[in-house]
A and B are shown apart, each in its own frame.
Chain A
Protein backbone atom coordinates (compact mmCIF):
# COMPACT_ATOMS: atom_id res chain seq x y z
CA UNK A 1 0.00 0.00 0.00
CA UNK A 2 1.37 3.44 -0.91
CA UNK A 3 0.98 5.82 2.02
CA UNK A 4 0.49 9.58 1.69
CA UNK A 5 3.51 11.66 2.66
CA UNK A 6 3.84 13.12 6.17
CA UNK A 7 3.22 16.56 4.69
CA UNK A 8 -0.10 15.45 3.20
CA UNK A 9 -1.13 13.82 6.51
CA UNK A 10 -0.22 16.93 8.46
CA UNK A 11 -2.21 19.16 6.10
CA UNK A 12 -5.13 16.73 6.24
CA UNK A 13 -5.06 16.85 10.05
CA UNK A 14 -5.46 20.60 9.88
CA UNK A 15 -8.17 20.48 7.17
CA UNK A 16 -5.85 22.33 4.82
CA UNK A 17 -5.93 20.07 1.75
CA UNK A 18 -7.76 20.79 -1.47
CA UNK A 19 -10.96 18.79 -2.02
CA UNK A 20 -9.47 16.19 -4.36
CA UNK A 21 -6.41 15.55 -2.21
CA UNK A 22 -8.63 15.53 0.88
CA UNK A 23 -10.94 12.93 -0.67
CA UNK A 24 -8.00 10.74 -1.73
CA UNK A 25 -6.42 10.98 1.71
CA UNK A 26 -9.69 10.27 3.51
CA UNK A 27 -10.19 7.19 1.33
CA UNK A 28 -6.71 5.97 2.21
CA UNK A 29 -7.24 6.66 5.93
CA UNK A 30 -10.42 4.61 5.97
CA UNK A 31 -8.29 1.52 5.39
CA UNK A 32 -4.97 2.39 6.98
CA UNK A 33 -4.60 2.36 10.77
CA UNK A 34 -0.98 3.56 10.62
CA UNK A 35 -1.83 6.75 8.74
CA UNK A 36 -4.95 7.29 10.84
CA UNK A 37 -2.76 7.23 13.96
CA UNK A 38 -0.40 9.71 12.33
CA UNK A 39 -3.27 12.08 11.58
CA UNK A 40 -4.55 11.72 15.16
CA UNK A 41 -1.08 12.52 16.43
CA UNK A 42 -0.93 15.64 14.28
CA UNK A 43 -4.35 16.68 15.53
CA UNK A 44 -3.23 16.21 19.14
CA UNK A 45 -0.15 18.31 18.50
CA UNK A 46 -2.36 21.01 17.04
CA UNK A 47 -4.48 20.90 20.19
CA UNK A 48 -1.42 21.10 22.38
CA UNK A 49 -0.04 23.97 20.35
CA UNK A 50 -3.04 26.18 19.83
CA UNK A 51 -0.91 28.89 18.31
CA UNK A 52 -1.24 26.90 15.12
CA UNK A 53 -4.90 27.75 15.16
CA UNK A 54 -4.24 31.38 15.82
CA UNK A 55 -2.75 32.28 12.48
CA UNK A 56 -3.99 35.58 11.28
CA UNK A 57 -7.00 35.14 9.04
CA UNK A 58 -5.77 35.90 5.55
CA UNK A 59 -8.26 35.38 2.72
CA UNK A 60 -5.79 33.72 0.36
CA UNK A 61 -8.39 32.79 -2.25
CA UNK A 62 -9.71 36.33 -2.40
CA UNK A 63 -6.15 37.65 -2.54
CA UNK A 64 -5.33 35.34 -5.45
CA UNK A 65 -8.52 36.31 -7.27
CA UNK A 66 -7.68 39.98 -6.85
CA UNK A 67 -4.18 39.36 -8.20
CA UNK A 68 -5.63 37.58 -11.22
CA UNK A 69 -8.09 40.41 -11.83
CA UNK A 70 -5.32 43.01 -11.57
CA UNK A 71 -3.17 41.19 -14.10
CA UNK A 72 -6.11 40.86 -16.49
CA UNK A 73 -6.80 44.54 -16.06
CA UNK A 74 -3.18 45.35 -16.84
CA UNK A 75 -3.26 43.22 -19.95
CA UNK A 76 -6.54 44.78 -21.06
CA UNK A 77 -5.14 48.27 -20.50
CA UNK A 78 -2.11 47.34 -22.59
CA UNK A 79 -4.41 46.26 -25.40
CA UNK A 80 -6.30 49.58 -25.25
CA UNK A 81 -3.20 51.76 -25.72
CA UNK A 82 -1.76 49.59 -28.48
CA UNK A 83 -1.83 51.34 -31.96
CA UNK A 84 -4.55 50.00 -34.28
CA UNK A 85 -2.24 48.82 -37.08
CA UNK A 86 -0.29 46.73 -34.60
CA UNK A 87 -3.51 45.14 -33.39
CA UNK A 88 -4.39 44.16 -36.90
CA UNK A 89 -0.89 42.84 -37.47
CA UNK A 90 -0.90 40.92 -34.19
CA UNK A 91 -4.42 39.93 -33.07
CA UNK A 92 -3.17 38.07 -30.02
CA UNK A 93 0.20 38.98 -28.48
CA UNK A 94 3.56 39.71 -29.89
CA UNK A 95 6.16 37.15 -28.83
CA UNK A 96 7.82 39.26 -26.14
CA UNK A 97 4.54 40.49 -24.66
CA UNK A 98 3.16 36.99 -24.59
CA UNK A 99 6.22 35.78 -22.70
CA UNK A 100 5.89 38.61 -20.15
CA UNK A 101 2.14 38.04 -19.74
CA UNK A 102 2.43 34.30 -19.33
CA UNK A 103 5.35 34.74 -16.94
CA UNK A 104 3.19 37.10 -14.87
CA UNK A 105 0.28 34.68 -14.80
CA UNK A 106 2.61 31.81 -13.92
CA UNK A 107 4.18 33.83 -11.10
CA UNK A 108 0.73 34.73 -9.80
CA UNK A 109 -0.43 31.11 -9.85
CA UNK A 110 2.76 29.98 -8.16
CA UNK A 111 2.37 32.62 -5.46
CA UNK A 112 -1.27 31.65 -4.96
CA UNK A 113 -0.32 27.98 -4.65
CA UNK A 114 2.36 28.76 -2.09
CA UNK A 115 0.14 31.12 -0.14
CA UNK A 116 -2.71 28.60 -0.04
CA UNK A 117 -0.51 26.25 1.95
CA UNK A 118 -0.53 27.26 5.60
CA UNK A 119 2.84 27.72 7.15
CA UNK A 120 2.87 26.90 10.84
CA UNK A 121 3.63 29.94 12.93
CA UNK A 122 5.19 29.09 16.27
CA UNK A 123 4.91 31.55 19.08
CA UNK A 124 8.42 31.63 20.43
CA UNK A 125 7.54 33.77 23.43
CA UNK A 126 6.85 31.55 26.42
CA UNK A 127 3.36 31.56 27.88
CA UNK A 128 1.95 29.80 30.93
CA UNK A 129 -1.69 28.80 31.16
CA UNK A 130 -4.02 26.28 32.72
CA UNK A 131 -5.24 23.40 30.58
CA UNK A 132 -7.93 20.81 31.29
CA UNK A 133 -5.44 18.51 32.98
CA UNK A 134 -2.73 20.73 34.37
CA UNK A 135 -0.65 23.85 33.95
CA UNK A 136 1.56 24.23 30.98
CA UNK A 137 4.37 26.46 29.83
CA UNK A 138 4.58 26.57 26.06
CA UNK A 139 7.23 28.04 23.86
CA UNK A 140 7.07 27.22 20.16
CA UNK A 141 6.84 23.46 19.76
CA UNK A 142 7.96 22.74 23.30
CA UNK A 143 5.90 22.36 26.40
CA UNK A 144 6.45 21.73 30.10
CA UNK A 145 3.48 20.89 32.27
CA UNK A 146 2.67 19.86 35.79
CA UNK A 147 -0.49 17.80 35.66
CA UNK A 148 -3.21 16.89 38.13
CA UNK A 149 -4.62 13.61 36.83
CA UNK A 150 -7.61 12.28 38.70
CA UNK A 151 -8.62 15.67 40.09
CA UNK A 152 -12.06 16.82 39.01
CA UNK A 153 -11.99 20.17 37.22
CA UNK A 154 -14.38 21.74 39.73
CA UNK A 155 -12.11 20.66 42.61
CA UNK A 156 -9.02 22.40 41.23
CA UNK A 157 -8.32 25.96 42.30
CA UNK A 158 -6.15 27.94 39.93
CA UNK A 159 -3.99 30.82 41.04
CA UNK A 160 -2.24 33.32 38.82
CA UNK A 161 0.70 35.46 39.80
CA UNK A 162 1.14 38.60 37.76
CA UNK A 163 4.89 38.07 37.99
CA UNK A 164 4.43 35.20 35.53
CA UNK A 165 3.21 32.07 37.29
CA UNK A 166 0.14 29.90 37.14
CA UNK A 167 -0.65 27.49 39.94
CA UNK A 168 -3.16 24.75 40.63
CA UNK A 169 -4.28 23.46 44.01
CA UNK A 170 -6.14 20.21 44.52
CA UNK A 171 -6.51 17.25 46.83
CA UNK A 172 -4.58 14.35 45.34
CA UNK A 173 -7.07 11.54 44.90
CA UNK A 174 -4.49 8.86 45.67
CA UNK A 175 -2.50 10.35 48.53
CA UNK A 176 -5.19 12.60 50.02
CA UNK A 177 -2.57 15.35 50.31
CA UNK A 178 -3.24 18.93 49.33
CA UNK A 179 -0.96 19.51 46.37
CA UNK A 180 -0.03 22.89 44.91
CA UNK A 181 1.72 22.97 41.57
CA UNK A 182 3.15 26.07 40.01
CA UNK A 183 4.74 26.67 36.61
CA UNK A 184 6.89 29.68 35.86
CA UNK A 185 6.92 31.58 32.61
CA UNK A 186 10.64 32.26 33.08
Chain B
Protein backbone atom coordinates (compact mmCIF):
# COMPACT_ATOMS: atom_id res chain seq x y z
CA UNK B 1 0.00 0.00 0.00
CA UNK B 2 2.88 2.31 0.79
CA UNK B 3 4.46 1.86 -2.59
CA UNK B 4 3.84 4.46 -5.17
CA UNK B 5 4.28 3.34 -8.74
CA UNK B 6 7.01 4.96 -10.76
CA UNK B 7 4.58 5.55 -13.59
CA UNK B 8 2.55 7.89 -11.45
CA UNK B 9 5.49 9.98 -10.38
CA UNK B 10 7.28 10.27 -13.66
CA UNK B 11 4.32 12.00 -15.22
CA UNK B 12 4.77 15.68 -16.02
CA UNK B 13 2.18 16.70 -13.44
CA UNK B 14 0.25 14.06 -11.56
CA UNK B 15 -1.91 13.77 -8.48
CA UNK B 16 -0.38 11.94 -5.55
CA UNK B 17 -2.60 9.15 -4.23
CA UNK B 18 -3.35 8.62 -0.54
CA UNK B 19 -1.34 5.39 -0.68
CA UNK B 20 1.83 7.49 -0.94
CA UNK B 21 1.53 8.32 2.76
CA UNK B 22 1.54 5.77 5.52
CA UNK B 23 0.30 6.51 9.06
CA UNK B 24 1.78 4.41 11.82
CA UNK B 25 -0.10 4.66 15.09
CA UNK B 26 0.47 2.04 17.77
CA UNK B 27 -2.47 -0.24 18.57
CA UNK B 28 -2.97 1.31 22.00
CA UNK B 29 -2.65 4.86 20.68
CA UNK B 30 -4.80 7.50 22.37
CA UNK B 31 -5.13 9.10 18.93
CA UNK B 32 -6.64 7.79 15.73
CA UNK B 33 -6.84 9.27 12.25
CA UNK B 34 -10.53 9.65 11.56
CA UNK B 35 -9.97 11.12 8.13
CA UNK B 36 -7.41 12.53 5.76
CA UNK B 37 -7.16 13.59 2.16
CA UNK B 38 -4.30 14.43 -0.15
CA UNK B 39 -6.13 17.61 -1.18
CA UNK B 40 -4.28 19.14 -4.13
CA UNK B 41 -1.04 17.19 -3.68
CA UNK B 42 0.89 17.09 -6.94
CA UNK B 43 4.04 15.55 -8.39
CA UNK B 44 5.60 17.81 -11.00
CA UNK B 45 8.58 17.15 -13.24
CA UNK B 46 11.01 20.06 -13.15
CA UNK B 47 13.75 19.42 -15.63
CA UNK B 48 15.73 16.50 -14.30
CA UNK B 49 14.08 16.69 -10.89
CA UNK B 50 10.71 15.73 -9.51
CA UNK B 51 8.97 18.08 -7.10
CA UNK B 52 6.38 16.59 -4.80
CA UNK B 53 4.00 18.92 -3.02
CA UNK B 54 2.02 17.12 -0.36
CA UNK B 55 -0.91 18.77 1.37
CA UNK B 56 -2.56 16.58 3.96
CA UNK B 57 -5.47 17.89 6.00
CA UNK B 58 -6.05 15.39 8.81
CA UNK B 59 -8.75 14.88 11.37
CA UNK B 60 -7.46 13.28 14.56
CA UNK B 61 -9.65 11.80 17.30
CA UNK B 62 -8.91 11.59 21.00
CA UNK B 63 -9.64 7.97 21.85
CA UNK B 64 -8.35 8.27 25.41
CA UNK B 65 -10.22 9.15 28.57
CA UNK B 66 -8.09 12.25 29.25
CA UNK B 67 -7.87 15.72 27.74
CA UNK B 68 -5.07 16.05 25.19
CA UNK B 69 -2.92 19.19 25.39
CA UNK B 70 -0.29 18.45 22.75
CA UNK B 71 0.63 16.09 19.92
CA UNK B 72 3.82 15.51 17.93
CA UNK B 73 3.92 13.61 14.66
CA UNK B 74 7.19 12.39 13.16
CA UNK B 75 7.41 12.78 9.40
CA UNK B 76 10.04 10.80 7.53
CA UNK B 77 10.81 10.59 3.86
CA UNK B 78 10.89 6.93 3.03
CA UNK B 79 13.71 7.27 0.56
CA UNK B 80 16.67 6.07 2.58
CA UNK B 81 19.29 8.04 0.69
CA UNK B 82 17.39 11.29 1.15
CA UNK B 83 17.37 11.14 4.91
CA UNK B 84 14.67 13.76 5.31
CA UNK B 85 13.24 13.83 8.81
CA UNK B 86 10.96 16.33 10.44
CA UNK B 87 8.27 16.75 13.03
CA UNK B 88 4.98 18.58 13.25
CA UNK B 89 3.92 19.54 16.76
CA UNK B 90 0.54 20.85 17.85
CA UNK B 91 0.90 22.37 21.33
CA UNK B 92 -1.76 24.33 23.22
CA UNK B 93 -4.52 21.87 22.37
CA UNK B 94 -7.49 21.27 24.62
CA UNK B 95 -9.23 18.22 23.20
CA UNK B 96 -11.63 16.22 25.35
CA UNK B 97 -12.21 12.45 25.21
CA UNK B 98 -13.99 11.41 22.03
CA UNK B 99 -13.51 14.81 20.40
CA UNK B 100 -11.91 15.31 16.99
CA UNK B 101 -9.63 18.12 15.86
CA UNK B 102 -8.24 19.20 12.50
CA UNK B 103 -4.53 19.55 11.70
CA UNK B 104 -2.51 19.84 8.52
CA UNK B 105 0.81 18.56 7.22
CA UNK B 106 2.28 20.35 4.23
CA UNK B 107 5.46 18.97 2.72
CA UNK B 108 7.68 19.42 -0.27
CA UNK B 109 10.10 16.83 -1.57
CA UNK B 110 12.55 17.26 -4.41
CA UNK B 111 14.43 14.33 -5.86
CA UNK B 112 15.91 13.14 -9.15
CA UNK B 113 13.16 11.94 -11.48
CA UNK B 114 15.07 8.89 -12.55
CA UNK B 115 14.52 7.30 -9.16
CA UNK B 116 11.57 4.99 -9.54
CA UNK B 117 9.00 3.65 -7.16
CA UNK B 118 9.35 3.50 -3.43
CA UNK B 119 7.14 4.88 -0.70
CA UNK B 120 7.12 8.62 -0.12
CA UNK B 121 6.33 9.56 3.42
CA UNK B 122 5.70 7.85 6.70
CA UNK B 123 3.93 9.67 9.51
CA UNK B 124 4.36 8.23 13.01
CA UNK B 125 2.96 9.31 16.32
CA UNK B 126 5.88 10.50 18.44
CA UNK B 127 3.99 11.64 21.47
CA UNK B 128 0.81 12.85 23.12
CA UNK B 129 0.79 15.08 26.20
CA UNK B 130 -2.27 15.02 28.42
CA UNK B 131 -3.67 17.71 30.69
CA UNK B 132 -2.15 16.03 33.75
CA UNK B 133 1.30 16.16 32.03
CA UNK B 134 1.36 12.41 31.55
CA UNK B 135 2.73 11.33 28.21
CA UNK B 136 2.22 8.58 25.64
CA UNK B 137 4.48 7.73 22.74
CA UNK B 138 7.89 6.46 21.64
CA UNK B 139 9.39 9.94 22.14
CA UNK B 140 12.12 9.47 19.55
CA UNK B 141 12.22 13.23 18.95
CA UNK B 142 12.11 14.27 22.62
CA UNK B 143 8.50 15.33 22.19
CA UNK B 144 7.79 14.84 25.87
CA UNK B 145 10.23 17.58 26.80
CA UNK B 146 9.12 19.89 23.97
CA UNK B 147 5.40 19.48 24.68
CA UNK B 148 5.87 19.76 28.45
CA UNK B 149 7.91 22.96 28.06
CA UNK B 150 5.23 24.38 25.76
CA UNK B 151 2.60 23.45 28.33
CA UNK B 152 4.57 25.12 31.12
CA UNK B 153 4.89 28.28 29.02
CA UNK B 154 1.19 28.09 28.14
CA UNK B 155 0.17 27.83 31.80
CA UNK B 156 2.53 30.71 32.66
CA UNK B 157 1.15 32.98 29.94
CA UNK B 158 -2.52 32.15 30.51
CA UNK B 159 -2.06 32.88 34.20
CA UNK B 160 -0.38 36.16 33.31
CA UNK B 161 -3.25 37.30 31.10
CA UNK B 162 -5.83 36.13 33.63
CA UNK B 163 -4.07 38.19 36.30
CA UNK B 164 -4.05 41.22 34.01
CA UNK B 165 -7.78 40.73 33.35
CA UNK B 166 -8.52 40.39 37.06
CA UNK B 167 -6.40 43.40 38.02
CA UNK B 168 -7.17 45.84 35.22
CA UNK B 169 -10.31 44.53 33.53
CA UNK B 170 -10.99 44.05 29.81
CA UNK B 171 -9.34 47.35 28.88
CA UNK B 172 -6.15 46.32 30.63
CA UNK B 173 -6.19 42.95 28.83
CA UNK B 174 -6.74 44.74 25.55
CA UNK B 175 -3.73 46.99 26.18
CA UNK B 176 -1.68 43.93 27.02
CA UNK B 177 -2.70 42.40 23.67
CA UNK B 178 -1.71 45.62 21.86
CA UNK B 179 1.70 45.53 23.54
CA UNK B 180 2.19 41.87 22.71
CA UNK B 181 1.30 42.37 19.06
CA UNK B 182 3.58 45.42 18.84
CA UNK B 183 6.46 43.36 20.30
CA UNK B 184 5.80 40.51 17.88
CA UNK B 185 5.82 42.94 14.96
CA UNK B 186 9.05 44.57 16.11
CA UNK B 187 11.12 41.40 16.53
CA UNK B 188 13.68 41.13 13.73
CA UNK B 189 14.28 37.61 12.60
CA UNK B 190 17.46 36.20 11.22
CA UNK B 191 17.60 33.71 8.41
CA UNK B 192 19.85 31.00 9.78
CA UNK B 193 21.14 27.95 7.96
CA UNK B 194 22.62 25.08 9.90
CA UNK B 195 25.17 22.51 8.90
CA UNK B 196 26.35 19.72 11.11
CA UNK B 197 30.03 20.27 10.48
CA UNK B 198 32.26 22.63 8.58
CA UNK B 199 31.23 25.95 7.13
CA UNK B 200 27.59 26.59 6.22
CA UNK B 201 27.99 28.38 2.92
CA UNK B 202 30.67 30.48 1.39
CA UNK B 203 30.20 34.22 1.36
CA UNK B 204 32.28 37.30 1.06
CA UNK B 205 31.76 37.97 4.71
CA UNK B 206 33.57 34.79 5.68
CA UNK B 207 36.76 36.01 4.11
CA UNK B 208 37.57 37.62 7.44
CA UNK B 209 39.82 35.69 9.71
CA UNK B 210 38.25 33.55 12.37
CA UNK B 211 38.14 34.79 15.94
CA UNK B 212 36.85 33.53 19.25
CA UNK B 213 33.92 35.50 20.62
CA UNK B 214 32.94 35.19 24.27
CA UNK B 215 29.35 34.98 25.48
CA UNK B 216 27.95 37.54 27.91
CA UNK B 217 25.08 36.18 30.00
CA UNK B 218 21.71 37.32 31.27
CA UNK B 219 21.29 35.87 34.73
CA UNK B 220 17.86 34.80 36.02
CA UNK B 221 17.76 34.65 39.82
CA UNK B 222 15.43 31.63 39.95
CA UNK B 223 17.17 29.63 37.23
CA UNK B 224 18.40 26.21 38.39
CA UNK B 225 21.37 26.58 36.03
CA UNK B 226 24.03 29.26 36.08
CA UNK B 227 25.96 29.94 32.87
CA UNK B 228 29.67 30.38 33.70
CA UNK B 229 31.51 31.10 30.47
CA UNK B 230 31.20 30.33 26.81
CA UNK B 231 32.46 31.09 23.35
CA UNK B 232 32.02 30.37 19.67
CA UNK B 233 34.28 30.65 16.65
CA UNK B 234 33.17 33.58 14.52
CA UNK B 235 34.07 34.27 10.95
CA UNK B 236 32.04 37.05 9.38
CA UNK B 237 28.43 35.94 9.41
CA UNK B 238 29.24 32.39 10.47
CA UNK B 239 29.48 30.99 13.96
CA UNK B 240 30.57 27.50 14.70
CA UNK B 241 31.46 25.21 17.57
CA UNK B 242 29.48 27.12 20.23
CA UNK B 243 30.20 25.97 23.76
CA UNK B 244 28.97 27.14 27.15
CA UNK B 245 29.94 25.93 30.59
CA UNK B 246 27.07 25.77 33.08
CA UNK B 247 26.72 24.94 36.76
CA UNK B 248 23.75 23.25 38.39
CA UNK B 249 22.90 25.54 41.29
CA UNK B 250 19.69 23.68 42.16
CA UNK B 251 19.32 20.83 44.61
CA UNK B 252 18.20 18.31 41.97
CA UNK B 253 20.05 16.49 39.18
CA UNK B 254 19.54 18.05 35.76
CA UNK B 255 19.43 16.06 32.53
CA UNK B 256 18.89 18.72 29.88
CA UNK B 257 19.84 22.37 29.52
CA UNK B 258 19.03 24.70 26.67
CA UNK B 259 20.58 28.15 26.31
CA UNK B 260 19.08 30.95 24.27
CA UNK B 261 21.59 32.62 21.95
CA UNK B 262 21.39 36.28 20.94
CA UNK B 263 23.80 37.87 18.48
CA UNK B 264 24.34 41.53 17.63
CA UNK B 265 25.69 42.96 14.41
CA UNK B 266 28.32 45.75 14.21
CA UNK B 267 25.57 48.40 14.40
CA UNK B 268 24.42 46.94 17.72
CA UNK B 269 21.16 45.51 16.38
CA UNK B 270 20.30 42.33 18.23
CA UNK B 271 18.71 39.15 16.93
CA UNK B 272 17.64 35.87 18.43
CA UNK B 273 20.05 33.48 16.74
CA UNK B 274 18.88 30.18 18.13
CA UNK B 275 19.30 27.86 21.04
CA UNK B 276 22.19 25.80 22.25
CA UNK B 277 21.00 22.55 23.80
CA UNK B 278 23.09 20.06 25.70
CA UNK B 279 24.25 17.45 23.23
CA UNK B 280 24.72 14.48 25.51
CA UNK B 281 21.54 12.40 25.67
CA UNK B 282 22.84 10.70 28.82
CA UNK B 283 23.73 13.93 30.61
CA UNK B 284 23.12 13.90 34.35
CA UNK B 285 24.38 17.04 36.03
CA UNK B 286 24.38 16.60 39.81
CA UNK B 287 23.76 19.59 42.11
CA UNK B 288 26.77 21.92 42.30
CA UNK B 289 28.55 20.34 39.33
CA UNK B 290 29.45 21.90 36.02
CA UNK B 291 29.06 20.66 32.46
CA UNK B 292 29.86 22.00 29.04
CA UNK B 293 27.22 22.41 26.33
CA UNK B 294 28.80 22.18 22.92
CA UNK B 295 27.69 21.53 19.38
CA UNK B 296 29.87 20.87 16.37
CA UNK B 297 27.63 22.79 14.02
CA UNK B 298 27.99 25.87 11.89
CA UNK B 299 25.32 28.54 11.78
CA UNK B 300 25.19 31.10 9.00
CA UNK B 301 23.27 34.32 9.69
CA UNK B 302 21.61 36.70 7.27
CA UNK B 303 18.71 39.13 7.27
CA UNK B 304 16.86 40.60 4.31
CA UNK B 305 19.24 38.85 1.96
CA UNK B 306 22.35 40.38 3.51
CA UNK B 307 24.88 38.61 5.73
CA UNK B 308 24.72 39.61 9.38
CA UNK B 309 28.23 39.74 10.78
CA UNK B 310 28.35 38.64 14.37
CA UNK B 311 29.90 41.17 16.71
CA UNK B 312 28.70 40.19 20.18
CA UNK B 313 26.86 37.26 21.71
CA UNK B 314 24.56 37.00 24.71
CA UNK B 315 23.28 33.78 26.26
CA UNK B 316 20.51 33.03 28.72
CA UNK B 317 19.01 29.88 30.23
CA UNK B 318 15.97 29.01 28.17
CA UNK B 319 14.92 25.60 29.44
CA UNK B 320 16.01 23.05 32.02
CA UNK B 321 14.79 19.50 32.51
CA UNK B 322 15.42 17.79 35.81
CA UNK B 323 16.11 14.10 36.09
CA UNK B 324 12.59 13.55 37.44
CA UNK B 325 11.13 14.94 34.19
CA UNK B 326 10.06 18.31 35.61
CA UNK B 327 10.74 21.29 33.36
CA UNK B 328 11.87 24.81 34.28
CA UNK B 329 11.18 27.71 31.92
CA UNK B 330 11.85 31.42 32.57
CA UNK B 331 9.00 33.26 34.30
CA UNK B 332 7.38 36.46 33.01
CA UNK B 333 9.57 38.60 35.28
CA UNK B 334 12.69 37.00 33.78
CA UNK B 335 11.45 37.76 30.30
CA UNK B 336 10.56 41.35 31.19
CA UNK B 337 14.10 42.34 30.29
CA UNK B 338 15.06 45.14 27.92
CA UNK B 339 17.22 42.85 25.77
CA UNK B 340 14.83 39.91 25.67
CA UNK B 341 11.74 42.01 24.97
CA UNK B 342 13.39 43.22 21.76
CA UNK B 343 14.53 39.89 20.41
CA UNK B 344 12.58 37.04 21.96
CA UNK B 345 9.45 35.96 20.10
CA UNK B 346 6.38 35.24 22.24
CA UNK B 347 5.58 31.76 23.41
CA UNK B 348 3.36 29.53 21.28
CA UNK B 349 0.48 30.18 23.69
CA UNK B 350 0.89 33.96 23.58
CA UNK B 351 0.98 33.74 19.79
CA UNK B 352 -2.25 31.68 19.85
CA UNK B 353 -3.99 34.05 22.27
CA UNK B 354 -3.12 37.15 20.26
CA UNK B 355 -4.38 35.36 17.14
CA UNK B 356 -7.67 34.65 18.93
CA UNK B 357 -7.87 38.32 19.92
CA UNK B 358 -7.30 39.39 16.29
CA UNK B 359 -9.94 37.04 14.93
CA UNK B 360 -12.56 36.87 17.68
CA UNK B 361 -12.04 40.08 19.62
CA UNK B 362 -11.76 40.73 23.32
CA UNK B 363 -14.78 38.63 24.32
CA UNK B 364 -13.44 35.70 22.33
CA UNK B 365 -10.13 35.98 24.16
CA UNK B 366 -11.75 36.23 27.59
CA UNK B 367 -13.92 33.24 26.76
CA UNK B 368 -10.81 31.26 25.73
CA UNK B 369 -8.97 32.16 28.95
CA UNK B 370 -11.97 31.07 31.00
CA UNK B 371 -11.79 27.55 29.52
CA UNK B 372 -8.71 26.86 31.62
Contacts and interface: CB of A to CB of B under 8 A. Distances in A.
Contacts of B82: 139, 142, 144
A174 B104 contact: yes
Interface stretch (A61-69, A83-91, A102-110, A175-183): A175-183
A10 interface: yes
B200 A127 contact: yes
A177 B46 CA distance: 33
Contact of A175 (B53, B86, B89, B104): B104
B355 A181 contact: no
A127 B88 contact: no
Interface in B184-213: 185, 189-198, 200-202
Contact of A147 (B106, B185, B191): B106
Contacts of B36: none
A90 B85 CA distance: 73
Nearest to B358: A171
Interface in A162-186: 162-166, 169, 171-172, 174-186
A160 B299 contact: yes
A117 B106 CA distance: 38
A168 to B, nearest CB: 10
Interface of B: 45-49, 51, 53, 55, 57, 75, 77, 79, 81-93, 101-112, 141, 146, 150, 185, 189-198, 200-202, 242, 261, 273-277, 279, 295, 297, 299, 345-346, 348-349, 351-352, 355, 359
B239 to A, nearest CB: 9
29 contacts: A6-B48, A48-B49, A54-B201, A54-B202, A125-B195, A125-B196, A125-B198, A127-B193, A127-B200, A127-B201, A129-B194, A141-B48, A141-B49, A141-B110, A142-B109, A143-B108, A143-B109, A146-B105, A147-B108, A157-B345, A159-B275, A162-B274, A164-B295, A164-B297, A172-B103, A175-B104, A178-B351, A181-B87, A181-B89
Nearest to B106: A147
B348 A163 contact: no
Contacts of A137: 83-86
B104 A134 contact: no
Consensus secondary structure, chain B interface: strand
Contacts of A186: 83, 85, 196
Nearest to A38: B47
A79 interface: no
Interface string A22-55: 0000000000000000100110110010010010
Given A141-B111, A169-B348, A175 B47 contact: no
A60 to B, nearest CB: 19
Contacts of B202: 54, 56
Interface in A124-159: 125-130, 133-137, 139, 141-149, 154, 157-159
A78 interface: no
A47 B366 CA distance: 45
A180 B185 contact: no
Nearest 5 pairs between A and B by C-beta?
A144-B84, A160-B274, A129-B193, A143-B110, A41-B46
Given A38-B47, A127-B201, A130-B191, A161 B275 contact: yes
Nearest to B81: A142
Given A142-B112, A144-B77, A126 B106 contact: no
Contacts of B275: 159-162
A178 to B, nearest CB: 5
B279 A163 contact: yes
B308 to A, nearest CB: 13
Contacts of A127: 193-195, 200-201
A145 B111 CA distance: 12
A174 B192 contact: no
Contact of B47 (A45, A54, A129, A157): A45
B102 A129 contact: no
Given A142-B112, A180-B150, A185-B297, 19 more contacts: A44-B51, A125-B196, A127-B200, A127-B201, A134-B108, A144-B84, A146-B88, A146-B105, A146-B107, A147-B108, A149-B106, A163-B295, A164-B295, A175-B103, A177-B101, A178-B91, A181-B89, A183-B85, A186-B196
A179 B103 contact: yes
A165 B194 contact: yes
B191 A129 contact: yes
B107 A178 contact: no
Contacts of A141: 48-49, 110-112
A158 B57 contact: no
A145 B109 CA distance: 6
B46 A44 contact: yes
A183 B220 CA distance: 30
A8 to B, nearest CB: 13
Nearest to A46: B47
